[in-house]
Structure 1
Amino acid sequence: MLNEFKAFIARGNVLDLAVAVIIGAAFGRIVTSLTDDIIMPVIGKITGGLDFSNYFLRLGEIPAGYAGSPTSYADLKKAGVPLLGYGEFVTVAVNFLIVAFIIFLIVRTVNRIALRDRAEEAAKPTPPEAADLVLLREIRDELRLRR
């Protein structure tokens, strides 16, 4: 079983997958920063200074010893107050749309390159056949006609 595991790990697909997961995690952090630090503030500015991260509904009572802001989603969440954070959901949905669009662009580009490569391969002239191969085909065709 150990040898099978070693063979499985040593295959290229597993290593490719590991690299893809690491790059994907880093890419996810980049997209999160893009959304949180650039896109959502611009949307907030356009909509009159709205901060989507603080859009929430409080579903429970604030604890008696709570010293933070009653309008801060992060502070209330840290204090254990049950919240429905629809502003955070909007931010995560925008993150998803950005990632999905970028993946779409990557797949589209790869498909176009593959299609172009196939077209180039099909357009290449076929090498001339050897004379003996042509002769053998002619003999085969003659024998078929005699039957």
Structure 2
Amino acid sequence: MGFFTDFKAFLMKGEIVNLATAVIVGGAFGKIVTSFTNDVLMPPIGLLLGKVDFKNLKLVLQDGVPEVTENGIQKTAAIAEVTLNYGAFIQTVFDFVIIGFCIFIVLKTYEKAQQKIIKNEVPKETSGPTQEQLLTEIRDLLKNK
């Protein structure tokens, strides 16, 4: 019974709930960025570079072999071509850079907000004794004993 109670307490901690929320929102944000890159950003870039569709950029390492049939009977099986799809990689790099930039902006904003909070929470000087005065009093009390 203790294991499941501990596990439930672990799951219900604020950090776990916040992490789960962040993962869900991050996944949705990733889809938005991917759509932005694929559907909005890359088509004009491809047009500027000579009507290039980045999704189709690839280097063929081995040509594919089509299926051969004779009189409706399959003689050889089709073999898919082997390619390096560097266009898809370029789009993924664009996704990464955009997501990284957005996270950078969010973290910079968060740091600035934290610094403002810390500035406002600076403890005000108290009119009590200084540290040296307290140490002197402690020393004098110890001497008297």
| Structure-2 residue corresponding to 1:97 | 97
Question: In the alignment, does 2:48 pair up with 1:42?
Answer: no
Structural mapping, 1:78-89, within 5 Å: 80-89=80-89
Aligned residues: 128
Pairwise CA distance, 1:141 = 4.9
After superposition, the Cα gap between the structure-2 partners of 1:89 and 1:140, relative to the gap in structure 1 and judged at 3 Å, is closer
1:55-104 CA distance string (max 9 Å, x none): 101122213139xxxxxxxxxxxx84321001110000000000001000
Give the letter for the 1:43 counterpart.
I
CA distance in 1, matches of 2:134, 2:46: 80
Pairwise CA distance, 1:45 = 1.8
Q: Which has the larger radius of gyration?
A: 2
Give the letter for the 1:121 counterpart.
E
| Structure-1 residue corresponding to 2:22 | 20
User: Alignment RMSD, CA only?
Assistant: 2.7
Fraction of identical pairs, as percent? 34
After superposition, the Cα gap between the structure-2 partners of 1:141 and 1:65, relative to the gap in structure 1 and judged at 3 Å, is same
* Native 8 Å contact 2:60 2:81 kept in 1: yes
Structure (1 or 2) with the greater helix fraction: 1
CA distance in 2, matches of 1:140, 1:92: 63
After superposition, the Cα gap between the structure-2 partners of 1:56 and 1:3, relative to the gap in structure 1 and judged at 3 Å, is same
Structure (1 or 2) with the greater strand fraction: 2
After superposition, the Cα gap between the structure-2 partners of 1:49 and 1:18, relative to the gap in structure 1 and judged at 3 Å, is same
Give the letter for the 1:36 counterpart.
N
Q: What TM-score does the superposition give when structure 2 sets the normalisation length?
A: 0.75
Unaligned runs of 5+ in 2: 69-78
CA distance in 2, matches of 1:27, 1:139: 56
CA distance in 2, matches of 1:88, 1:144: 74
What SS class does the counterpart of residue 59 from structure 1 fall into? strand
Give the letter for the 2:34 counterpart.
T
* Native 8 Å contact 2:63 2:80 kept in 1: no
